[in-house]
Amino acid sequence: MLRAFFVLALAAAVALADPCPKCGQDVEKKWKFCPDCGQTLPDRDRIAREAALQAEEKKGELLVAMRRLKRAYEDAGDKERAAQVAEAINRIEGSPVAGGADPALPGGAKPVEGYRDRVEFRAQLLEGGGGTAETEAAVLSGLKWLARHQSADGSWSSQGFHARCAGKSCMGAGEEDYPAALTGLAILGFLGAGYTPQSTESWRDPQSGDEVSPGAVVRRGLTWLVRSQDAQGCIGSRMTARYMYSHAIGTMAMAEAAGMTGAESYLASARLAVDYLVSAQNPGRGWRYSARDGESDMSVTTWCVLALRAAARAGIDVPRESLAGAKAFVVEVTDEAYCKVGYNSKGTGKVVVPGKNDDWDDHPTMTAGGILCRMIAGADRTDPALDGGAKLLVCDLPAYAGKKVDYYYWHYGTMALHRFNAPDGKYWKAWVEALKNALVPAQRTGKNGCLEGSWDADVDRWGYEAGRVYVTALNTLTLETWYRDAKAPEKKPKRK
């Protein structure tokens, strides 16, 4: 009996160990280096994830090619061959790669409870929130532009996007490149519209004529984000000056991908990203450009809080202390008399970059961020700071005129008032009508060639920095607000 026990124990130990590639000694699989010779050991989990992601990427490329073939047979009137290709497509989509990173789930994506209403009640939420057929057409057109300008590696670039143009090159490059932040924003736009790596539909690009699979676009983008994540969980390079923007937006994208698909690989990446986000917070306060910067600002803090909210909706544990710290920072920088929120301290004046946007109008953008942070942290709608902040926003409605254009303000303002006052509140109704009138007509159309679906960056207060990709992704997200972060209204019981 005792001998049998030792045999089983030895077998278990062997199962948990692998030989060191340098000295051959058995090393526990969880160790990162060999204690005998000091050899750094390969990260087996990461290698497995990489292989799975590559397999799924190749599968996506095959499906795109097959959809093009199917469309070609349909255009040629060959219904029999088109049906055969369609049958093959269905078989491939229903057969996940063994050990794959995001297996195709039967019937498409299966969102977790926190994201279910976005999919199941989209039309109801769209109508109730003030969206229209025109705003939906603008969203689709924006996504088509983003898909057309996705880099070959799956990312988006503020400087290199024009290399993907169809015909005349699009203008509007950013001064700095933020691939992780831009990739996260673009992917959020697709996820917000209901597209996931499992989406099976396709469209023909209006400018290039190519067959495009939005599911493949999302899959490639998420694969790039996962590959950009380091061992500590940070998404994007930490060599950039303001990398917490990239990490927060990347975390938000991974969390939404996990919530929209239920895929374990995205959930694992999102959990790791959340852990890093929480560790990077200034204790008891907010976030700044880098981890534990010592100072906090409302711009970065709001993105971080939104990322934590996305994670919580996906079922990921978010420490209450983290949200409480963010709320404490908001309270600290809020002017009690007028409920205006400062950038990094109470009473902060206009925030500008000298020589870049000095002459643009100032807006209560951080006040909108403060409303979001307070509500996500659990503030009741009776909190006077919420109503006071909302009044400041509706006194400065979106207007596409001169130096008033500030897409960042419009994005935060739309989310804040939608969360606080939609669908029937007077603040929301006034805001949403002004927003639609300002944003939808400003989008480029088919007569503008490859620019179709995008927005111009040079008319925007912050557009000079990250360019056309940034403003197009952000505005597309803004026009999805009605269903991106909303719950379907409960049905009232019928009277007998």
pLDDT digits (tens, 9 = 90+) for 67-91: 778 778 888 888 888 888 877 876 6
- Closest CA relative to residue 155, chosen from 244, 213, 225, 243: 225
3-class secondary structure, 28: strand
Distance CA 218, CA 154 (A): 8
Supply 355's token pair: 């020589």
DSSP string, 100-118: -SSPPPTTS----HHHHHH
Residue 196 belongs to some domain of the structure: yes
Distance CA 356, CA 176 (A): 13
> Does the pLDDT at position 254 exceed 80?
yes
> Does the pLDDT at position 195 exceed 90?
yes
3-class secondary structure, 158: coil
CB contact at 8 A, 291 and 236: no
3-class secondary structure, 212: strand
Backbone region of residue 336 per phi and psi (left: phi > 0; alpha: psi in -120 to 50; beta: other values): alpha
Q: Which residue would you say has higher pLDDT here, 398 or 54?
A: 398
Most confident of 3-7, 53-57, 164-168: 164-168
Distance CA 219, CA 60 (A): 8
- Closest CA relative to residue 462, chosen from 381, 376, 353, 386: 353
Residue 52 belongs to some domain of the structure: no
Distance CA 59, CA 65 (A): 10
Please report, for the domain that includes residue 440, its CATH number. 1.50.10.20
> Does the pLDDT at position 60 exceed 80?
no
Structure letter (DSSP) for residue 16: T
The burial of 362, by beta-carbon neighbours within 10 Å (0-12 exposed, 13-18 middle, 19 or more buried), is given as middle
CA 295 and chain centroid, separation: 25
Please name the residue that has the structure tokens 């469209």.
Answer: 203
Mean pLDDT value across the chain = 87
3-class secondary structure, 443: coil
Cα pseudo-dihedral 128, 301, 473, 463, rounded to 10: 120
Residue 17 phi, psi dihedral angles, 5° rounding: -130, 155
Alpha-carbon distances, residue 19 vs 11, 43, 47, 130, 352 (angstroms): 15, 14, 17, 62, 58
> Does the pLDDT at position 472 exceed 60?
yes
Distance CA 273, CA 231 (A): 10
Structure letter (DSSP) for residue 175: S
Q: Provide, rounded to the nearest whole percent, the portion of the chain with pLDDT above 70.
A: 82
Which helix (H) or strand (E) element contains residue 203?
Answer: strand 203-204
Distance CA 60, CA 198 (A): 9
Residue 7 belongs to some domain of the structure: no
Q: Which residue would you say has higher pLDDT here, 7 or 132?
A: 132
Residue 92 belongs to some domain of the structure: no
Average pLDDT over residues 393-418: 98
Average pLDDT over residues 271-280: 98
Residue 71 belongs to some domain of the structure: no
How many structural domains does the chain have? Answer: 1
241 is in which domain, residue-wise?
A: 102-349+360-484
> Does the pLDDT at position 105 exceed 50?
no
Alpha-carbon distances, residue 359 vs 188, 364, 461 (angstroms): 31, 16, 9
Average pLDDT over residues 344-369: 95
Angle at Cα 447 formed by Cα 444 and Cα 448, nearest 5°?
Answer: 50
Q: Which residue would you say has higher pLDDT here, 70 or 177?
A: 177
> Does the pLDDT at position 16 exceed 60?
no
Distance CA 104, CA 109 (A): 8
Q: Which stretch of 93-97, 133-137, 315-319, 381-385 has the lowest confidence by average pLDDT?
A: 93-97
Supply 341's token pair: 């929120």
Distance CA 326, CA 305 (A): 7
Average pLDDT over residues 245-270: 96
Residue 396 belongs to some domain of the structure: yes
